[in-house]
Structure 1
Amino acid sequence: MSDNKVANASANDTKSANKGKKGKKVPVSPEHIAKVRAEREAARAAKREAMLAQGFDPDCPPELQFIRRPILPLHEGENPMGFKFKLMTYNCLAQTLIRRKLFPTSGDALKWYRRSKVLLNEFKYYNADVICLQEIDFIQFQNFWKDELTKLGYDSQFHRQASKNHGVAIVWKKDYFFMTDKMMIDFDKESSGDIPPRTTTNNAGLILSLKLSDKIKQKYNLKKSGIIVGTTHLFWHPFGTFERTRQCYVVLNKVKEFSRRVNVLQNGNDGDYSHWYSFFCGDFNSQPFDSPYLSMTRKPIEYNKRAKTVIECSTSYTFSKTRDGEEDDAEEEEGGNIEKFGADQPAHPVPQSYEAKDHERELVKQMQSLHNSLDMRAISLYSVAYGRVHPENAGLDNERNEPEISNWAHTWRGLLDYLFFIRHWDYANCVEIDSLESFEKENGLRIRGLLRLPPSKEMTEHGQPHTGEYPSDHLCMLCELELVN
């Protein structure tokens, strides 16, 4: 505000005091002008602080705002000795999958020209060093994301099945890492023992080896080579539990295969797989109490209770032949389920009880044995540590200390996204959640912080995305890690 405007405002403020003093004009002192200016500056600062405290950026237009969440710290007071980096996973909601009927309350928040800016603002704000992305439109990746992420100092790799308009991507800071190898995953073509795919899914995965830059290795005296990181978006179908569980086996098996290849080609085939830290992140379309998640994290796995009921029920579902190209009409992607249940189909994907037929029980036993035969397991970073930083939202609806939600759509809400650390399994009993202390000690890293996830009671009645809230129907997840050799 100019001095003249402040003076005029101050003069107006003193009119009542001067009323009745005919013809006498009292000059406004410089001290009074300074006082009014200071009061207004203080009011603006208070408003700004209030907006920041509520998670909003006061310098950003309202339509490009998003709810800013804090990284909840661990190991406070302990000076970091190793290299710290932030690992993020985010399903960004593919524009090609948006149907207005599925997002009836989202309005203009669905428009790409707006959503793209909000998503980009999120990436800038959280400033992750490695990002695993799902539901990235191929056209937008080529025409928008590639260039914008390059401007922010990232390099990137994208992969999709040719039949899909969207895929997955991995993004990393060029100052910290450089790519030395990559592996594409086509889940429909990957073997899984004697268990074939139940239907064509066209799901894709991507795994990279990201070597630490010489600058980082020298600065922190790191002996490790770098990180192996993968991402995927697993089968979405409500009755796809059995197939998702098979795909989770493929995830672990491909990380094992890729680790061997990297060891041969980059570490002289010395048989020591500890040169690399392995992570796999993404949208697994599975909750912590269902067989896909449990098959990876709770080994040896034994399906029981809800997990057993749901996976057995899923084996009774017959998928449309359109998925395998046996009929002319192509099925919609996951924007809408057009497959009708039919008279012989199960009525609900999560029944209270289910009486499995002999061949269905046998299929599920085969899947259990398949997972137990693989000497690899996954450890969820949120499961291990989230109870330490946000106990009010750890294990609210599950026994694995996972947060309650990562997806908040109009018709469905729950936890679907995970950041996994992948390691060798020696067939010991790993049914219980790893303690934070044992996890960090055994794997040569520390969890320094986790991005806060709101419990459902803090969310709005309407689904996401929504202007001023979140730009996707998923919420990004992030873990700050310290590599300590």
Structure 2
Amino acid sequence: MTIEEANNAVYNDKQGNIKIETSDFLDNATSKAIQVKENQKKKKKGKGKKTPPSPEEIARIREERAVQRKTREEALLTQELDINCPPELQFIRRPILELHKGEPESGFTFSLMTYNCLAQALIRRKLFPDSGDALKWFRRSKVLLYEFMHYNADVISLQEVDHIQYQSFWKKEFGKLGYESQFHRKGSKNHGIAIVWKRELFTMTDKMFIDYDKEASGNIPPRTTTNNAGLILALKFSDKVLKKFPETTKSGILIGTTHLFWHPFGTYERTRQCYVVLNKVKEFLHRVNVLQNNNDGQTDHWIPFFCGDFNSQPFDTPYLSMTSKPVKYTGRAKTVIECSTSFKFSKLREGESDTEEEGGNIEKFGKDQPQTPVPSSFDATPEQSELVKNMEQLHNSLDMRAISLYATGYKMVHQENAGLDNSRGEPEISNWAHTWNGLLDYLFYIDSWDFSDKRNAETIADVEANHPIKIKGLLRMPPKSEMEKFGHGQPHTGEYASDHLCMLCNVEILL
């Protein structure tokens, strides 16, 4: 009998006609083949089935997993990382270094942050060769968001905020966290600046947009088109705050932010822009007094702060022109600003493109252009010396100045990283890129200047005795020696989400 006949016989049997044993019709070889197939089927059916573990085995596995989990958590806590955050979204959490610890509070305390977030539109792989997946927006946005949630600042000033990301992501996400926000950019620039504040504490009652390319600065015109912008807001205390301080004459805070001209040879223009910052704060103080305080002539209703990325270090003329009054350019500062007056910017500076902000000096050096922005010496022409002298006079003619919150208080809480490379007591770095590092970001309290000698950084006792603020805490800033251990620039997975590090100060306003 053939296989087909045997199958038919079985088929007939299934139909109930006759009962035939298949083995009666199959030869030995065929019978063995069928038996092998049946055995294989049995093996397949049984494949994958395991004996369930005993209760003792389950307990042992659970104990091993608990030990592994605890070890991982302890390792993360040692690194000050969030045990509930995925490894690829971790970032280094820094502590707030407290001042006036244990002292009773009599005023309104809030936290103020500044952060250059690194615009996605400016990222080029050649500028961040060792950042890898940390550059990808879908990941970086989450790390930044976790960072904002962790520090939970009451007011945040932001720089390099992509316009697209602000509209599609940040505005909504900040809203979920209880914040309101205001964004500003110059023209069609693809990134800008923003100020974010907690709606339960403040209400925006006025705003001022700053266009540095159009702002007057005495007899010194803008040196080139920069497309840089500034923003100042009047944030009035909410009813919730005022209920706690019903007798106060304070209305709220003024908060400004900016991102100044980035170019290595742009020191002269940055110094001019710093004059504009102080002058616009003075103008805004007058405006809110007229419109919101019945024009009573008092300038102490509003407490003014200005934060941001000034693209200048504490020993450069932009910073010194704001904080060291009357300013006198000497030494390295004078050499650098004189050198910058000799640099002629290319047509790329005339507002035609954003590409100049990719980083570094992308232009070819032309005739008589200096080869470095920080030469060891520079022989200025009489015309260049006159330009620098005019800048000094411009700043010294304005009765406004800035007090750096970190310069004032950081030496009290982290002395080993205060004034390492500067005489002002500032921390060493706030920017750690692949090719450059240094301090570029600041939180300033803005004050009127009576033309007395304010050239040296003031002590915290002097500042708090003469102004209605107390510095209650400062976010720890790592020195270069710590950052060098990483062996690479930022951003980087598990470390920081930008090439800048955020800075934060807890401030008590005496009401």
Does TM-score exceed 0.5, indicating one fold? yes
Q: Report the counterpart of residue 293 of structure 1 in structure 2.
A: 319
Instruction: Indicate the SS of the match to 2:300.
Output: helix
Q: Report the counterpart of residue 77 of structure 2 in structure 1.
A: 52
Identity level (%):
67
In structure 2, what is the Cα distance between the partners aligned to 1:463 and 1:47?
Answer: 26
Backbone CA RMSD of aligned residues: 1.6
Give the drift of 1:45. 4.1
Give the drift of 1:272. 0.6
Give the drift of 1:334. 1.1
Matched residue type, 2:433: A
Give the drift of 1:51. 1.4
Bigger CA radius of gyration: 2
In structure 2, what is the Cα distance between the partners aligned to 1:93 and 1:322?
Answer: 22
Instruction: Indicate the SS of the match to 1:188.
Output: coil
Matched residue type, 2:301: H
Matched residue type, 2:394: L
Q: Report the counterpart of residue 229 of structure 2 in structure 1.
A: 204
Question: Structure 2, unaligned stretches of length 5 or more?
Answer: 1-52
Instruction: Indicate the SS of the match to 2:206.
Output: strand
- Change in Cα spacing, 1:10 to 1:110, as seen in structure 2 (3 Å) is closer
Q: Is the 8 A contact 1:332 1:338 kept in 2?
A: no
1:72 to 97, 122, 142: 97
Give the drift of 1:113. 0.3
Q: Report the counterpart of residue 145 of structure 1 in structure 2.
A: 170
Q: Report the counterpart of residue 185 of structure 1 in structure 2.
A: 210
- Change in Cα spacing, 1:217 to 1:305, as seen in structure 2 (3 Å) is same
**1:233 and 2:259 correspond:** yes
Q: Is the 8 A contact 1:97 1:333 kept in 2?
A: no
Deviations 1:245-271 (A, max 9, x none): 000000000000000000000111111
Q: Is the 8 A contact 2:189 2:354 kept in 1?
A: no
Q: Is the 8 A contact 2:349 2:356 kept in 1?
A: no
Deviates more, 1:440-449 or 1:176-185: 440-449
1:85-484 maps to which residues of 2 (within 5 A)? 85-221=110-246, 222-324=248-350, 330=353, 332-336=355-359, 337-459=361-483, 460-484=486-510
Q: Is the 8 A contact 2:328 2:392 kept in 1?
A: yes
**How many aligned residue pairs are there?**
455
Instruction: Indicate the SS of the match to 2:365.
Output: coil
Deviates more, 1:214-223 or 1:59-68: 214-223
Matched residue type, 1:111: K
Matched residue type, 2:477: L
Q: Report the counterpart of residue 8 of structure 1 in structure 2.
A: 57
Q: Is the 8 A contact 2:469 2:508 kept in 1?
A: yes
In structure 2, what is the Cα distance between the partners aligned to 1:167 and 1:420?
Answer: 20
Q: Is the 8 A contact 2:251 2:302 kept in 1?
A: yes
Deviates more, 1:172-181 or 1:342-351: 342-351
In structure 2, what is the Cα distance between the partners aligned to 1:180 and 1:111?
Answer: 37
Q: Is the 8 A contact 1:407 1:415 kept in 2?
A: yes
In structure 1, what is the Cα distance between the partners aligned to 2:377 and 2:188?
Answer: 37
Give the drift of 1:441. 2.0
Question: Structure 1, unaligned stretches of length 5 or more?
Answer: 13-35
- Change in Cα spacing, 1:6 to 1:248, as seen in structure 2 (3 Å) is farther
Deviations 1:68-106 (A, max 9, x none): 000000101112222111000000000000011000000
Deviations 1:281-312 (A, max 9, x none): 00000000000000000000000000000000
- Change in Cα spacing, 1:251 to 1:6, as seen in structure 2 (3 Å) is farther
Deviates more, 1:355-364 or 1:211-220: 211-220
Give the drift of 1:212. 0.3
Q: Report the counterpart of residue 11 of structure 2 in structure 1.
A: none
TM-score by length of 1: 0.91
Give the drift of 1:445. 1.4
- Change in Cα spacing, 1:276 to 1:162, as seen in structure 2 (3 Å) is same
Deviations 1:176-231 (A, max 9, x none): 00000000000000000000010000000000000001111121444310000000
Matched residue type, 1:210: L
In structure 1, what is the Cα distance between the partners aligned to 2:165 and 2:353?
Answer: 23
Q: Is the 8 A contact 2:76 2:83 kept in 1?
A: yes
TM-score by length of 2: 0.87
Q: Is the 8 A contact 1:451 1:479 kept in 2?
A: yes
Give the drift of 1:6. 6.8
Matched residue type, 2:349: R
In structure 1, what is the Cα distance between the partners aligned to 2:55 and 2:425?
Answer: 56
In structure 2, what is the Cα distance between the partners aligned to 1:312 and 1:108?
Answer: 41
Instruction: Indicate the SS of the match to 1:211.
Output: strand
In structure 2, what is the Cα distance between the partners aligned to 1:243 and 1:190?
Answer: 12
Give the drift of 1:395. 0.3
Q: Is the 8 A contact 2:226 2:349 kept in 1?
A: yes
